[in-house]
Homo-oligomer: A and B are copies of this chain.
Amino acid sequence: MSRLDRTLIADLAPFQGMHAADLDTMLGQARSMRIVKETAIFEQEGEAHSFFLLLDGHVRVVKTTPDGQQVIVRYISPGELLGIARALGRTTYPASAIAAVDCVALAWPSRLWSEFAAAFPSFGANTYKAVGARLQDAHARVIEMSTEQVDRRVAHALLKLIQQTGRKTEDGLLIDFPLSRQDIADMTGTTLHTVSRLMTVWEERGLVKSGRQKVTVVQPHKLLLLAEGHVDK
C-alpha cells in the first residue's frame, strides 16, 4: 500500500479523528483483496471471521429467506465498513455481501475489531455512529414498507441510490453499477414486473432513462415529489 493510499484512507468516515500512527497500525494488519463481479465477500450464516473496508466498487448486502426470496438490505459504497457482525455480538454474518462490480477491499480478522475499538476510541465511536445510522435507516424502511405504496418506495430507492453513487452524465444522474429490475424489486419488496411497468411510465414522462441493468434519473426533483407523494402519480 502506497503512502498516497494511506492519506486517502485517513479521510474515510470510519477513521475520522484517529492518529496517523494508529491508522498505520491498523493498515499494517489488513489484507488487501480483489473481489470479482457477482462473487461473495461473505455468505449469510457463515462464521464471521473477518470484517472489511470497501475501497473500490459496489457491494450489495442480500438476505435470503428460507423459501428462497431475496431482499437487498443495502448497497455499500467505497469507504464503508462491512461484515462487522462480530462487533455487534454475533458470531455469524446475518446476510451475504455480493460484489455488484469488481471490487477492492481490505480485510481484518474479526477478533481485531474489539482490540482496535479499545485502543483507538475514535474508531469504535465512528463505527457505532455508523451502526446508529443504519438502525435509523432500517426503521425508516420499516415505516416505508408499512405505509407507502410501491411507486413511492421505488422512487425513494432510486433517489437513495443516486445520492450514494450518482454520476453526472449528459442525460442526468446515472446509477454507477449494473442494476436490474429484479434488483430494484428486491430493494423495495415488489416484483420485477411491477418495477418494469413503473419504469416505462416514468420513461414516457421523462423522469428517467433506462436500459438493460442501467438506470439514469433525468429529473431527480420530480422523482422526489413523487416519492414524497406531493403529486398524483
A66-91 at interface with B (beta carbon < 8 Å)? 67, 69, 71, 73, 87-90
- The answer to whether A145 and B145 have CB atoms under 8 Å apart is yes
- The answer to whether B133 and A135 have CB atoms under 8 Å apart is no
Copies in the complex: 2
Contact residues in B for A141 (Cβ distance below 8 Å)? 138, 142
Assess A128 versus B67: contact at CB under 8 Å? Given A135-B135, A136-B94, A142-B142. Answer: no
A131-172 at interface with B (beta carbon < 8 Å)? 131-136, 138-139, 141-143, 145-147
- The answer to whether B63 and A132 have CB atoms under 8 Å apart is no
CA distance A87 to B90 in the complex (A): 20
Contact residues in B for A65 (Cβ distance below 8 Å)? 143, 147
Interface residue? A34 (CB, 8 A): no
- The answer to whether A89 and B135 have CB atoms under 8 Å apart is no
Interface residue? A206 (CB, 8 A): no
Q: How far is the CB of A210 from chain B (nearest CB, A)?
A: 22
CA distance A231 to B160 in the complex (A): 38
CA distance A134 to B134 in the complex (A): 11
CA distance A146 to B188 in the complex (A): 7
CA distance A189 to B141 in the complex (A): 12
Q: Please list the residues of chain A having a beta carbon within 8 angstroms of any beta carbon in chain B.
A: 63, 65, 67, 69, 71, 73, 87-90, 94-95, 118, 121, 128-129, 131-136, 138-139, 141-143, 145-147, 188-189, 229
